[in-house]
Amino acid sequence: MNKSHTNKDLELKFLCKILYKEMGYYTHYEIKLRTKSYIETIKSHDISDIDVFGYTFLPDLTCHCLGAECKSGETNALDELYKFIGVIDYFCIDKGYFIKSKIHQNARQVAAQTGISCYTEAELRKLLLGFGYDVDKQIKIESAIYYRLIKAIKSQEKFYERLINYIQYDFWNKENWRNIHNFIHLLSKNIQGELFPAVDLNRKMFFYYIAELFSIAILKNLNKAMLESFSDIESSIRNQMFGGGESLSEKRKVYDLVNQATNQNLTFAPEWEDDFVKMSSRFANHTCHSAKLPLFFQELREQSFYQSKLQIKQKSLKIFDDITRKFAQDLLQFLIKHTTIGDIIYKEIMKL
C-alpha cells in the first residue's frame, strides 16, 4: 500500500473514532486478532484485525462492542466486506461499520442483510457535520492523540518489552481472567534498563493507558461474576478470577497434587486476591459509576497531556461524578500496592 493510501486509511479511522465518540463509545485502533495452531509446536498466528474497535459498559456492566473496517480505494468492496463479516462473527462484535472511499451497490445490499452500516468518506463526513463537528479540525486533533499514544508506548519498549507485546498482541485475544493475572505479573517484574528511570510524560501516558486496559479487564470479570451470583458477589468474583467455579476447582486440585509431589505447602491464592475482591465488590455496589472507569482514564489520557506538562482540566472532570473518580483512585492504589508502578506516576489523579 502506498503512502497516500496509508494516510487515507488513517483519516477514515479518525472519522470513525469521531462517530464512536459521539455515540458514547471508547475507542481503540488496530486490534489484532490471533489464533494458535498445535501442529508439532504451539504457534500464534495473526489472522486479521479490527481497524477501529469501540466498546462501552452499560450501567449493569454489560459490554457492548462496535467494530469497523476502514479501507481506502474504490475496488474490492465486496471481498473486503465478506472478510469483515467473518471478523464480526469471530470476535462477537455487536455492530459493524464498513467504511471505504467508494462502496458499490452489491456490497451495500450484502451489508444491509447482515446489519452492517456502510459509509463512504463523503457520507461519513456529512453525518458528522450534522452533529455539529468541524470535521477537518477534529481529524487533526484525533491524529495528534493517535501519534502521541504510539510515541508513549514506543518510548517504553526498553523497559517493558514483554508488557507492550502483551497489550498489542494478546490482551484482546486472551480469556479475560487471564488478563488480570498477566497484567499484575508483568507489572510486578523488575524493569529492564535504568534502575531509576525518569518519570517523563511519555511514561505517565503509557501507564494511564495501562490503567485503562486494566479497568476493562476488571469490569468484564465483574460482569461475569454478577451473572453467576450477584447475591454472593465476593465468592463469584473469586471464582471468575480463575475462569469460573469449575475451572477454579480443577486448578486447586492440580495445585494440591504439585504440593504433595514436591512436599511443599504453597498457598494457591495470589497475595493480591483479597484486595482485588474488596475493590471489585465496591465496584459492584455502584455499577453505573464503575462502568465509566475506562472512559475516565481514556478522557484524561487524551485531554490532559501537552508537549511539556500534564494538566487535568475541570472540563474533563465534570464529565464524571465523585464516585467514579474515587473508584479510579481505588484502582490505582491497587496497582501501586501490588506492582512496581510508583505512586509518582499517578500523583495527579490521586490529588483530585
Distance CA 52, CA 27 (A): 7
Predicted pLDDT of residue 5:
44
The answer as to whether 141 is a domain residue is: no
Same domain, 111 and 13: yes
Predicted pLDDT of residue 1:
39
Predicted pLDDT of residue 142:
96
- Spatial contact of 177 and 221, defined as CB atoms under 8 Å apart: yes
Q: What is the CATH number of the domain that holds 13?
A: 3.40.1350.10
> Which domain-ending residue is among 133, 165, 182?
133
What digits encode the pLDDT tens for the residues 114-146?
A: 999 999 999 999 999 999 999 999 999 999 999
Q: How many domains does the chain have?
A: 2
Q: What 3 state SS string does 117-146 have?
A: EEEEHHHHHHHHHHCCCCHHHHHHHHHHHH
Same domain, 184 and 73: no
Same domain, 179 and 125: no
The answer as to whether 139 is a domain residue is: no
Same domain, 303 and 188: yes
Task: Please list the ranges in the chain whose pLDDT falls under 50.
Answer: 1-5, 193-195
Same domain, 172 and 208: yes
The answer as to whether 83 is a domain residue is: yes
Predicted pLDDT of residue 260:
82
Angle, helix 201-228 to helix 293-303, in steps of 10 degrees: 170
The answer as to whether 65 is a domain residue is: yes
Same domain, 187 and 229: yes
Same domain, 44 and 188: no
Q: Which domain holds residue 238?
A: 156-350
The answer as to whether 282 is a domain residue is: yes
Distance CA 98, CA 84 (A): 8
Same domain, 160 and 127: no
Same domain, 119 and 175: no
Predicted pLDDT of residue 196:
54
The conformational region for residue 199 under phi > 0 = left, psi -120 to 50 = alpha, else beta, is beta
Predicted pLDDT of residue 2:
38
Same domain, 204 and 74: no
